[in-house]
Amino acid sequence: MGRRLVHGVSGAAVFLASVALLSMRHRGTREAAQYPGIGEGVLEKPEQQSEGSPEGSGGRGQKDLKLHPPEAHRTEGSLTLGDIFIAVKTTKKFHQSRVELLLDTWISQASEQTYIFTDEEDGALKRRMGGRVIFTNCSAEHSHQALSCKMATEFDAFLASGLSWFCHLDDDNYLNPRALLKLLSSYAETWDVYLGKPSLNRPIRASETLPDNQTKSVRFWFATGGAGFCISRRLARKMVPWASGRNFLSTSELIRLPDDCTMGYIIECKVGGQLIPSALFHSHLENLQLIPTSQLMQQVTLSYGVFENKLNVIELSGPFSPQEDPSSRFRSLHCHLYPDTSWCLQAVGW
């Protein structure tokens, strides 16, 4: 499997060049216009930047995350969806059951910005996504090595794109593009921003492997990949020595944890950044029925799955019944957000 992991990372290099070419026209136009206010001293440095060297402390030592209001980072800029690189991680066995649902729903509203990262060729998916489906050749296993292989490919594709924001999602997430754009518009890409939702109420502890068979205890916050997370380009550039290409797999091996944990480890223990928690991201690890129906339209990501041995989906009325839209309620949610979608208009009584 190790050979396939290495091949998966290096085999994606051909795709990275095409991503860069796709983004050149957009990037050039955006940079020529620039963001009004950015670089003109109107933004103060966000308080989430950690002080001192993280290497000596094994990451941030505080027990609680500090929630910094977006207003502290607000920019006057004109961020668009075209500035965001959206990566969706999946595997071949979920192409039909999960990815097609996403293609029918939220990806239809952000198709030019969304890239699917998977492990095996699929002609049907290729026909629907064109050059925006990336066959990583990573293993289909759910091991930290295989997951890290895909994450490394996502990260390098983002770097090659030249875009301002990297947002990672799983294939069981519904993304509200409008809510995402509103959230990211509250932060400047010129600062180190790491947005997401921790799945734990405390920093995770890990043993970092050192030379001569020594280990060091580290602890850090991380945004769970199951809810999605976003990273600014400025922060991503600082992560390159540990996160680009084969370096990501090597870094993952230091703590032997999955890809989302490795991201948090790199950002907090290597770069000195800090997770900015957001309650607008949601994974199947939380009780989704507790989200008030009145607030569903404001959430950035939602999910579905099994929680405490019960089907875990959002509670939402119409236009499709629970029998017609049983596993996720994503079709009904999509029709509430985008009622002009053709198949929404065909729903009885909608």
The residues that are catalytic are 260
Q: Parallel, antiparallel, or unpaired: how do β-strands 204-210 and 214-220 relate?
A: antiparallel
For 311, half-sphere exposure in the C-beta direction (CA atoms, 13 angstrom radius) is 9
- Rounded to whole angstroms, the Cα distance separating 95 from 88 reads 12
- Rounded to whole angstroms, the Cα distance separating 239 from 117 reads 20
Residues 6+ apart with CB under 8 A from 29: none
Question: Which burial class, exposed, middle or buried, applies to 296 when counting CB atoms under 10 A from its CB (0-12, 13-18, 19+)?
Answer: buried
- Rounded to whole angstroms, the Cα distance separating 327 from 147 reads 25
Extract the tokens encoding 346.
Answer: 């065909």
Residues 6+ apart with CB under 8 A from 108: 341
E-strand stretches of 150-203: 165-170, 174-175, 194-196
